[in-house]
A = this chain, B = another copy of it.
Amino acid sequence: MDPETLARAVEAVLFASPEPVPLARLVDLLGPEGADRQAVLEALARLERALAGRAVEVREVAGGYQLRTRPEFAPFLARLEVPRPVRFSRAALETLAIVAYRQPVTRAEVEEVRGVDCGGVLKSLAEKGLVRIVGKKDVPGRPLLYGTTRKFLEVFGLASLADLPSLQEIEELLAQEEKPGDPPGAA
């Protein structure tokens, strides 16, 4: 299969799959056509270039590749009746961030950081499949441990947890915000 046809085959597969397709899976699928890992990676790069001017792009999400609309088209799509427009409260976002960065983490540890009760928020995030129970901590009382899910990566468009900005980056960002000369009250 020539590189151009391979890129189209990859596009067809990604288009037809509602969920991110892992690289290994693509290699499995296209191997019979003579494509190895390297060839599939090249096909993905070629596809990305081909989609440059289009409404849709290839994104690496939750350990796989997926076609997604570019964010600038959100306004038209918001009017579409597609499932679940998602809204996140501050409480939910803070709790998610703490679970994402500190996982596996107990409810008490999350509450220690936020300074408020987080049971309800954790439950609601678990119900939405964004966090999950990943075990019990080996301390007296054996409290439940929470972690983020694959769906969390999918919803926030992250290839993996390593895709989150590092805490150091965040600290640098904060340091900049607090530089003298900012208008008072800027937080």
* Residues of chain A at the chain B interface (Cβ within 8 Å): 4, 8-9, 11-13, 15-19, 21, 29-30, 32-33, 50, 53-56, 67, 69-70, 73, 76-77, 79-80, 82, 85-89, 91-92, 96, 117, 119-125, 128, 130, 132-136, 142, 144, 157-159, 163, 165, 169, 172-174, 176-179, 181-183, 185-187
B54→A89 contact, CB < 8 A? no
CB of A115, distance to nearest CB on chain B (Å): 13
B157→A12 contact, CB < 8 A? no
- Number of chain copies forming the complex: 2
B183→A89 contact, CB < 8 A? yes
By secondary structure, the A interface counts as mixed
Q: Which of chain B's residues have a CB closer than 8 A to the CB of A172? A: 119
Q: Given A76-B30, A80-B29, do A117 and B67 touch, yes or no (CB 8 Å)?
A: no
Q: Given A12-B55, A77-B12, do A173 and B187 touch, yes or no (CB 8 Å)?
A: no
CB of A46, distance to nearest CB on chain B (Å): 11
Q: Given A56-B11, A56-B12, A76-B33, do A120 and B89 touch, yes or no (CB 8 Å)?
A: no
Q: Which of chain B's residues have a CB closer than 8 A to the CB of A117? A: 179
Q: Which of chain B's residues have a CB closer than 8 A to the CB of A33? A: 76
List 26 interface pairs A-B (beta carbons < 8 Å), by A numbering. A9-B55, A11-B55, A12-B69, A12-B73, A12-B76, A12-B77, A15-B56, A16-B77, A16-B80, A16-B82, A29-B76, A29-B79, A87-B183, A87-B185, A87-B186, A87-B187, A91-B182, A92-B186, A92-B187, A119-B172, A123-B173, A123-B174, A125-B187, A136-B163, A142-B163, A144-B165
